[in-house]
């Protein structure tokens, strides 16, 4: 545990001798170790709050503190988030309502790789297919990273500064600032994060160093309280070493421009009208020589992807207690690739022309209603219709020149019942359909070598259809808050991705199967004394591959977390025990585009501690030690370790060993 005297001494040096005298202040919030469910199937969390274990500076690692989420470890950053055993295109990720898609054919840059959490104000998770307003195919759920729109009643400015230091040379700097008048505002942020290779519990270095930075700017015009026109600009880049593959990411360049408009209270029957257009471009480079000892042959790959989209939505007042959102959204994305190899030196890939390989388009119409009864019950429902199209622009494939069009239907209905005790029970039924994504359509079941990807193609796959039942109970009263949620899903034409070692070492197939999954999450917090709070979470998921009569691949094992928090005046102390059961139900070689099962895994337990001090309202210092006992372990769903010169190869990419960190946050009002 970090000594309180050390924390106090550091603050005294930074703030002066009078800073430590104000013990009447309380520390709120404390370090986040788990995020509870706020309402039916909705979890909200503050991405700026300190967290344990300390996340990498990306979206996936931040999400793993929410019950039901796991992360596929690849290195120090850019892991893939998994919710209830479902990953990739089954889990929608939106940045202020915008879609961003990575370029790497092996998921080196999932959408969350371009998310810098502290640049956002709110993260909302919607579990299950229980909304139709945010695009098609989100059968597992949605993750919304959002910034609050600044409001200024008079000219003014404010900001926040965050600094983090940790083991393995970890250092983060985050600055956010807003300035404006009642009619105009500017909202800017800049982030940077850097780390060296971390060590696992055995002291073995893991090829995992990374450097990342981002900048964001929003300019808004607010001529009155009901009108807002906003222009957004963003740019980011970075590099990252990967322990699970033969290449590293040396460029993650993203550029963004977007325009949004909102007008509220246009008429008694029209509560709001919203419109948005955006452009996201990703230019990604991976090679096997810039960040590691080069092999006999130099190899580099440079994919890029341009994603453009728009949305128009109106909120109608159907009745005093009934709102209806109706609208349409459009998204197109184009993927291209160029690559080169050489034996005498680094290839000049930039001299090559890019070749378009796939193009996608989706047009959707949706309507979503929410009705609140006089007794406080809620009825929510929605319908969605999408028309999607995919074009294969590659050459030398059996599907070259093909075009696939799908009509997709989605919908849900949910009843939330307010009990006499003040608790809420809910029951929801949802249906979601999605077309195969870029990664699923590019698998090569007849691959014979890395240079020859084969003539066969998985481009033409049937849409995946998921029907899911969600049921749960929320308790928010007295000293105890708790929630319990359970789900059962049937997946028709589930897109399974599997290795084919009998064909070759590089053959990967994607095919449709029928599958089922079910599971539950629970969380509870009990303030059993004025300064003491106990917390606990539980997450479990089970999957069945009905077509092959075997387990469904990439299902995380049962996981429980138990926390104890103490707050007194400006001080806080906390501890976290994470227990993960063994997983004896695996399907080696079978899974998703994110990864495939390797085999069964043993269980493990990890202990972490944290402390915090807030001498002033705008000053917070927190610190902690993750994996206190220096345990050597790996997540069941993580990818296998690659043979990298100078590094020990493990069955899976191991998690970090004992990690110390300290974080300072300053409000610059």
CATH of the domain at 255: 2.40.170.20
pLDDT digits (tens, 9 = 90+) for 154-190: 999 999 999 999 999 999 999 999 999 999 999 999 9
pLDDT digits (tens, 9 = 90+) for 88-146: 999 999 999 999 999 999 999 999 999 999 999 999 999 999 999 999 999 999 999 99
Contact between 128 and 430 under an 8 Å Cβ cutoff? The reply is yes
H or E element, residue 12:
helix 4-15
d(CA 161, CA 466): 43
pLDDT digits (tens, 9 = 90+) for 428-445: 999 999 999 999 999 988
CA trace torsion 30, 31, 33, 37 (10° rounding): 50
pLDDT for 258: 98
H or E element, residue 98:
strand 98-99
d(CA 37, CA 127): 10
d(CA 259, CA 236): 19
Q: Reply yes or no on whether the pLDDT at 25 is more than 70.
A: no
Contact between 381 and 132 under an 8 Å Cβ cutoff? The reply is no
Give the count of domains, the chain. 1
Please state the rounded mean pLDDT for residues 243-264: 97
- What are phi and psi for residue 15, nearest 5 degrees? -115, -15
- What are phi and psi for residue 252, nearest 5 degrees? -130, 55
d(CA 624, CA 573): 9
d(CA 284, CA 453): 21
d(CA 536, CA 525): 7
- Domain extent, residue 641, equals 4-667
d(CA 307, CA 106): 19
d(CA 605, CA 346): 44
Predicted confidence band of residue 448 (pLDDT cuts 50, 70, 90): low
Predicted confidence band of residue 1 (pLDDT cuts 50, 70, 90): very low
pLDDT for 48: 93
d(CA 439, CA 436): 8
Contact between 196 and 281 under an 8 Å Cβ cutoff? The reply is no
Which runs of E-coded beta strand occur in 37-97? 37-39, 42-45, 69-72, 80-83, 86-87, 91-95
Structure tokens that stand for 258 in this block: 């977007």
Cβ-proximal residues to 510 (8 Å cutoff; 6+ apart), any chain: 436, 440, 441, 443, 445, 458, 461, 495, 496, 497, 498, 593
Which runs of E-coded beta strand occur in 110-199? 122-127, 141-146, 156-166, 170-180, 184-195
Number of neighbouring beta carbons within 10 Å of residue 235? 14
H or E element, residue 10:
helix 4-15
pLDDT for 447: 64
């029209």: which residue's tokens? 270
349-384 in b/e form (b: 16+ CB < 10 A) is beeeeeeebbbbbbebebbbbbebeeeebbebbbbb
Percent of the chain whose predicted confidence (pLDDT) is above 70: 94
For the chain, helix (H) and strand (E) counts, in that order, are 3, 33
Q: What share of the chain is helix, strand, coil (3-state, %, to 5)?
A: 5, 55, 40
d(CA 553, CA 555): 6
pTM comes to 0.93
Which runs of E-coded beta strand occur in 222-267? 227-240, 248-267
Contacts 24+ apart (CB under 8 A), 33-36: 33/65, 33/535, 33/561, 33/563, 33/574, 33/576, 33/608, 33/610, 34/65, 34/66, 34/67, 34/523, 34/535, 34/537, 34/561, 34/563, 35/65, 35/66, 35/67, 36/481, 36/483, 36/523, 36/525, 36/537
H or E element, residue 519:
strand 508-529
Q: Reply yes or no on whether the pLDDT at 4 is more than 60.
A: no
pLDDT digits (tens, 9 = 90+) for 586-627: 999 999 999 999 999 999 999 999 999 999 889 999 999 999
Q: Reply yes or no on whether the pLDDT at 2 is more than 80.
A: no
pLDDT digits (tens, 9 = 90+) for 403-426: 999 999 999 999 999 998 889 999
CA distances from 541 to 36, 66, 91, 396, 519 (A): 18, 14, 16, 41, 4
Please state the rounded mean pLDDT for residues 489-496: 98
3 state SS of 120: coil
């Amino acid at each position: 545990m970090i000594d309180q005297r050390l924390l106090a001494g550091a603050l005294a040096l930074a703030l002066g001798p009078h800073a430590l005298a104000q013990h009447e202040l309380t520390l709120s919030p404390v370090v986040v170790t788990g995020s509870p469910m706020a309402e039916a199937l909705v979890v909200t969390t503050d991405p700026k709050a300190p967290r344990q274990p300390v996340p990498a500076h990306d979206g996936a690692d931040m999400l793993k503190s929410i019950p039901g989420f796991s992360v596929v470890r690849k290195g120090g950053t850019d892991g893939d988030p998994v919710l209830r055993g479902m990953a990739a295109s089954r889990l929608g990720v939106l940045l202020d309502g915008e879609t961003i898609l990575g370029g790497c054919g092996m998921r080196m840059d999932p959408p969350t790789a371009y998310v810098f959490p502290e640049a956002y104000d709110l993260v909302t998770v919607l579990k299950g297919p229980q909304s139709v307003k945010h695009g098609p195919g989100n059968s597992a759920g949605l993750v919304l990273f959002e910034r609050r729109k600044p409001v200024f009643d008079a000219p003014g400015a404010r900001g926040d500064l965050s600094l983090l230091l940790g083991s393995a040379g970890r250092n983060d700097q985050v600055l956010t600032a807003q300035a404006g008048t009642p009619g105009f505002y500017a909202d800017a942020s800049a982030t940077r994060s850097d780390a060296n290779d971390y060590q696992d519990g055995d002291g073995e270095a893991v090829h995992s160093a990374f450097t990342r930075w981002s900048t964001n700017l929003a300019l808004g015009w607010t001529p009155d309280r009901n009108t807002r026109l906003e222009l957004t600009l963003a740019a980011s880049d970075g590099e990252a070493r990967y322990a699970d593959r033969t290449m590293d990411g040396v460029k993650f360049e993203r550029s963004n421009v977007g325009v949004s408009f909102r007008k509220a209270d246009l008429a008694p029957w029209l509560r709001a009208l919203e419109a948005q257009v955006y452009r996201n471009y990703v230019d990604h480079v991976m090679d096997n020589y810039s960040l590691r000892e080069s092999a006999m042959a130099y190899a580099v790959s440079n994919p890029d992807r341009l994603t453009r989209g728009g949305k128009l939505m109106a909120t109608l007042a159907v009745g005093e207690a009934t709102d209806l959102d109706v609208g349409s959204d459009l998204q197109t994305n184009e993927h291209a690739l160029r690559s080169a190899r050489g034996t005498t030196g680094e290839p000049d890939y930039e001299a090559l022309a890019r070749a378009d390989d796939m193009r996608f388009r989706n047009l959707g119409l949706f309507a979503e209603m929410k009705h609140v009864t006089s007794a406080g019950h809620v009825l929510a429902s929605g319908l969605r219709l999408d028309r999607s199209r995919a074009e294969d622009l590659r050459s030398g494939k059996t599907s070259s020149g093909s075009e696939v069009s799908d009509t997709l239907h989605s919908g849900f209905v949910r009843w939330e019942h307010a009990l006499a005790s003040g608790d809420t029970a809910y029951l929801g039924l949802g249906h979601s359909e999605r077309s195969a994504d870029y990664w699923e359509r590019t698998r090569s079941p007849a691959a014979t070598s890395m240079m020859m990807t084969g003539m066969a193609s998985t481009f033409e796959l049937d849409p995946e259809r998921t029907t899911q039942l969600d049921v749960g109970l929320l308790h928010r009263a007295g000293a105890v808050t708790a929630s319990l949620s359970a789900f059962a899903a049937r997946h028709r034409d589930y897109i399974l991705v599997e290795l084919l070692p009998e064909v070759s070492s590089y053959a990967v197939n994607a095919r449709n199967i029928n599958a089922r999954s079910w599971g539950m999450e629970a969380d509870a917090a009990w303030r059993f004394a004025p300064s003491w709070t106990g917390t606990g979470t539980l997450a479990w998921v089970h999957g069945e591959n009905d077509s092959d009569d075997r387990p469904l691949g990439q299902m995380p094992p049962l996981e429980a977390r138990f926390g104890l928090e103490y707050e007194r005046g400006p001080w806080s102390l906390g501890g976290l025990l994470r227990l993960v059961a063994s997983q004896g139900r695996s399907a080696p070689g079978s899974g998703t585009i994110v990864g495939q099962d390797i085999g069964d895994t043993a269980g493990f337990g990890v202990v972490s501690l944290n402390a915090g001090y807030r001498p002033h309202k705008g000053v917070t210092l927190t610190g902690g030690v993750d994996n206190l006992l220096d345990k050597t372990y790996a997540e069941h769903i993580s990818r296998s370790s690659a043979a990298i010169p100078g590094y020990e190869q493990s069955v899976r990419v191991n998690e970090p060993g004992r990690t110390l960190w300290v974080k300072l946050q300053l409000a610059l009002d």
